[in-house]
């Protein structure tokens, strides 16, 4: 899950963070500039902190797999994965120096950059958007154009911009032609028929409706009971999970530059492992203490793989067309309050493919690394009641 805030709120948060830097601390003894001896040997491991954007779940399975399978250690890294939450803004943690890398949606991170956060997208892991608008089949909502006159749920906090861009593209005025409803981060309003269409992540909330019991049949709902609007198909998708790094260190710290390549290489290996071993990665995430059930996590792992693979140019590389579309939507699309994510195009080193390309070259140099996943085929997942 990812949440946005208005630009003014981000500015206030960033300003308070800068003022409180001495109290919060910049970097500590676990920063990337320190190293530790590996247990039982003399090899020095560089300590790295990775900040996630949400709680432990298969959305981040590639990083957990890289840790559990020893890919980070093989790269000379001692990685600590920091769990996210409702009150944690990963890109702010990175900008503060409280993490060495962070996972964040591109629009949200660019909004923070506009407010002064010195961060750069160095690894665009998700190649496509996972956001849907879900409705019951009898509502006949199959495209954004069909939302006219409907009661449309959305989470707000900037998560609605794909939806608003889709409606605008279809000739619908979001402020006049639909009834907007503030949606909780679940699917209860849809299941209770309080709204006609609900916002959902394909790997999380959409699974929730399929784990729920249809009161008319006594059995679980199936995909045939619903319609889905996919913003990738509508042409208003925005880039989501990416690996962000400290811009100043990328430009001035040779050790950090080298660490970034190693971190990306090992992380990409983790995602390749999860592509080829979805059940094992489900087990890794469950063992890490995920609050979600095993069948839900396998569904999530499978859907996350679809967002990552195939990666036509290689995992982690930013596709300029997708980037430009994300920036355009972030600048031009207004929500119901008239706010946009960005007021102008990003300046400076907003993204770079240099480090991801070096990581890919190293992986391909190993001889048997499939960095594109051209032949990837998803598995079939059976959901259990409640995702158990």
Query: pLDDT (tens digit, 9 = 90+) per residue, 270-318?
Result: 999 999 999 999 999 999 999 899 999 999 999 999 999 999 999 999 9
Q: What number is the average pLDDT over the span 190-196?
A: 98
pLDDT band, very low/low/confident/very high, at 158 (cuts 50, 70, 90): confident
Q: Are strands 101-104 and 44-51 parallel, antiparallel or unpaired?
A: parallel
Under a CB-based contact definition with an 8 Å cutoff, are residues 122 and 99 in contact? no
Q: What number is the average pLDDT over the span 251-263?
A: 98
CB-neighbour burial class of residue 321 (10 A; exposed 0-12, middle 13-18, buried 19+): exposed
pLDDT of res. 336 = 86
Cα separation, 137 vs 97, in Å, equals 48
What are the backbone angles phi and psi of residue 248, rounded to the nearest 5°? -60, -40
Least confident of 19-28, 85-94, 200-209, 321-330: 19-28
The model's pLDDT over 324-338, given as tens digits with 9 standing for 90+, comes to 999 999 999 998 888
Cα separation, 371 vs 309, in Å, equals 9
CA atoms within 13 A on the CB side of 349: 17
pLDDT of res. 42 = 56
pLDDT of res. 8 = 43
pLDDT of res. 264 = 98
Cα separation, 7 vs 336, in Å, equals 15
Beta bridge partners of 101: 50, 245
Cα separation, 63 vs 71, in Å, equals 10
pLDDT band, very low/low/confident/very high, at 26 (cuts 50, 70, 90): very low
Is this model's pTM higher than 0.85 or not?
Answer: yes
| H-helix or E-strand spanning residue 210 | helix 205-210
pLDDT of res. 43 = 78
The model's pLDDT over 67-78, given as tens digits with 9 standing for 90+, comes to 999 999 999 999
Q: What number is the average pLDDT over the span 168-181?
A: 95
End-to-end Cα, the chain, rounded Å: 20
DSSP class of 367: S
The per-residue pLDDT of the chain, averaged, comes to: 91
Q: How many CB atoms lie within 10 A of CB 71?
A: 23
Beta bridge partners of 36: 45
Closest CA to 292 of 88, 55, 31: 55
Q: What number is the average pLDDT over the span 345-369?
A: 94
pLDDT of res. 28 = 36
């Amino acid at each position: 899950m990812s949440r946005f805030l208005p630009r003014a709120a981000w500015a206030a948060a960033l300003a308070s963070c800068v003022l409180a830097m001495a109290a919060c601390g910049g970097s500590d003894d676990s920063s990337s500039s320190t190293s530790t001896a590996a247990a039982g040997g003399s090899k020095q491991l560089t300590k790295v902190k990775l900040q996630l954007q949400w709680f432990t779940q298969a959305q981040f399975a590639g990083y957990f797999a890289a840790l559990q399978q020893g890919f980070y250690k093989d790269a000379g890294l001692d990685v600590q994965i920091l769990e996210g939450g409702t009150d944690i803004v990963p890109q702010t943690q990175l900008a503060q120096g409280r993490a060495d890398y962070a996972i964040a949606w591109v629009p949200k991170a660019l909004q923070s950059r506009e407010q002064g956060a010195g961060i750069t997208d160095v690894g665009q892991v998700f190649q496509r958007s996972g956001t849907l608008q879900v409705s019951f089949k009898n509502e006949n909502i199959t495209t954004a154009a069909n939302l006219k006159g409907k009661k449309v749920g959305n989470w707000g906090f900037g998560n609605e911009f794909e939806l608003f861009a889709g409606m605008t593209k279809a000739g619908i005025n979001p402020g006049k032609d639909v009834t907007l409803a503030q949606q909780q981060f679940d699917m209860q309003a849809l299941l209770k028929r309080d709204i006609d269409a609900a916002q959902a992540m394909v790997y999380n909330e959409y699974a929730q409706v399929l784990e729920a019991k249809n009161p008319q049949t006594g059995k679980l709902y199936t995909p045939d009971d619903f319609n889905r609007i996919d913003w990738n198909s509508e042409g208003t998708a925005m880039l989501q999970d990416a690996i962000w790094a400290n811009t100043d260190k990328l430009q001035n710290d040779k050790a950090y530059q080298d660490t970034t390549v190693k971190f990306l290489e090992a992380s990409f290996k983790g995602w390749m492992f999860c592509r080829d071993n979805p059940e094992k990665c489900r087990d890794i995430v469950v063992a890490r203490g995920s609050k979600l059930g095993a069948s839900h996590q396998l569904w999530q792992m499978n859907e996350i793989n679809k967002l990552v693979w195939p990666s036509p140019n290689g995992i982690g590389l930013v596709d300029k067309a997708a980037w430009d579309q994300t920036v355009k939507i972030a600048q031009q699309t207004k929500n119901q309050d008239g706010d946009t994510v960005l007021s102008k195009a990003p300046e400076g080193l907003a993204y770079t493919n240099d480090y991801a390309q070096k990581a890919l070259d190293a992986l391909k140099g190993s001889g048997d690394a499939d960095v594109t996943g051209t032949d990837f085929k998803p598995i079939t997942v059976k959901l259990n009641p409640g995702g158990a």
